[in-house]
Amino acid sequence: MQLDFKLLKTLRALAQTGSLQGAASRLFVTQSALSHQLKDIEQQLGEPLFVRKSQPLQFSWQGQLLLQLADEVLPKVEAVQQQLRQQPGLPAQLRLTVECHACFHWLLPAVKAFRLQYPQVNLSLDTEIEHHAIEAMLAGELDLVLTTDARLPRQVCYQPLFELELLAYLAPEHPLAAKPWLTPADLQNARLLSYPIPPERQDLFRYFLKDLEFRGERRQVAQASQMLQLVAAGEGIAVLPLWLAEPFLSQGLIVTRPLGPQGLKRTMYLASRRGDNHSAVQALYQLLQLHAPVQAS
């Protein structure tokens, strides 16, 4: 008899589905065509491959021998086929992290879309390296970073994604809520709720309060949802992008105010090492643009 991959795939489908009908559906052939194929093989063997109408499906020793061969050979063949389909120059893995806690709201759909488009590239989201991620990328611990802090430009390529505006989040009854926009002096002695990031790495302190000595209180909060609940309860002021505000804004639980008459605006970048701008990075960049938050300024 002559063995081929088609027979091995048929036997594996039979073992996985437990019936001729299920195997035919998985292989996209008619049940009669599949039955005819198996009868031809059994005629060559002079023995049945499995017991008809058995529940669960029982293979003869000949069928079991061929099924064992299928389990050994087919995964190797499929692995080689996958490698042959890979585009030249694509990395096996991309490690991505975010220097902005508030990004996860819109990032995950883009990550999912990339994994569907490039299944041969293992895109992993590293949530451990959040601070000094650019330095970690240059040290080889990461491949890509989402950040608003474009530093070390000689070694890092920064591709702009969108402009975001950071707003002050306040309870509606907060005294500063009556103002159309806030000044640095308004926040100099305030109780601020922020992520557990050093002040020197936060845009609020680096750009808005840079000329003042902050004399207020900093309360570190790890989760955005908890931070918004504390704001609504009048426990402090948070500075965050607008896209986190719903449904608190629609329910009237919080209000937002610009930081300064022109607002505090920052550009979100996708950062990569110079020379690593291959097609997979560009595909991810386009998907990040597509899934960028509605609030861009």
Number of domains present in the structure of the chain: 3
Which residues make beta-bridge pairs with 157?
272
129-188 tens-digit pLDDT: 566 788 889 988 889 999 888 888 889 999 998 888 899 999 999 999 999 999 999 999
Instruction: Tell me, yes or no, whether 236 and 221 share the same domain.
Output: yes
pTM of the model: 0.61
Q: Which of 27-31, 34-38, 190-194 has the highest mean pLDDT?
A: 190-194
Instruction: Tell me, yes or no, whether 214 and 119 share the same domain.
Output: no
| φ, ψ (nearest 5 deg) of residue 236 | 155, -175
Q: Where are the beta strands (DSSP E) in 7-155?
A: 50-51, 58-59, 93-98, 122-125, 144-147
In which band, very low, low, confident or very high, does the pLDDT at 88 lie, cut at 50, 70 and 90? low
Q: Which of 87-101, 108-122, 254-268 has the lowest mean pLDDT?
A: 87-101
- Secondary element (H or E) of residue 206: none
CB 222 within 8 A of CB 264: no
| φ, ψ (nearest 5 deg) of residue 67 | -65, -40
Instruction: Tell me, yes or no, whether 277 and 131 share the same domain.
Output: yes
Share of the chain above pLDDT 70, in %: 90
Angle of the 104-117 helix axis to the 279-290 helix axis, nearest 10: 130
Residue numbers of the domain that contains 72: 5-85
Instruction: Tell me, yes or no, whether 173 and 208 share the same domain.
Output: yes
What is the C-alpha separation between 210 and 277, in angstroms, rounded? 34
What is the C-alpha separation between 273 and 157, in angstroms, rounded? 6
Is 70 a member of any domain?
yes
Instruction: Tell me, yes or no, whether 134 and 150 share the same domain.
Output: yes
pLDDT of residue 218: 94
Question: How many whole angstroms from its chain centre is CA 185?
Answer: 39
Is 90 a member of any domain?
no
Q: Is 173 exposed, middle or buried (0-12, 13-18, 19+ CB in 10 A)?
A: exposed
Both structure tokens of 260: 């300064």
Asked if the model's pLDDT at residue 91 lies above 90, the reply is: no
Three-class secondary structure of residue 145 per DSSP = strand
What is the C-alpha separation between 193 and 171, in angstroms, rounded? 13
For 63-79, what is the mean pLDDT? 84
241-283 tens-digit pLDDT: 887 777 788 888 999 999 999 999 888 899 999 887 778 888 8
Instruction: Tell me, yes or no, whether 127 and 33 share the same domain.
Output: no
103-112 tens-digit pLDDT: 666 788 888 8
CB 27 within 8 A of CB 9: yes
Domain finish residue from 40, 61, 85: 85
pLDDT of residue 53: 76
Is 114 a member of any domain?
yes
Is 248 a member of any domain?
yes
CB 113 within 8 A of CB 287: yes
For 11-37, what is the mean pLDDT? 85
Instruction: Tell me, yes or no, whether 256 and 169 share the same domain.
Output: yes
Instruction: Tell me, yes or no, whether 278 and 149 share the same domain.
Output: yes
Cis preceding linkage at 247, omega within 30: yes
pLDDT of residue 232: 93
Is 92 a member of any domain?
no
- CATH of residue 151's domain is 3.40.190.10
CB 231 within 8 A of CB 254: yes
Is 296 a member of any domain?
no
Instruction: Tell me, yes or no, whether 77 and 215 share the same domain.
Output: no
Is 203 a member of any domain?
yes
Instruction: Tell me, yes or no, whether 169 and 240 share the same domain.
Output: yes
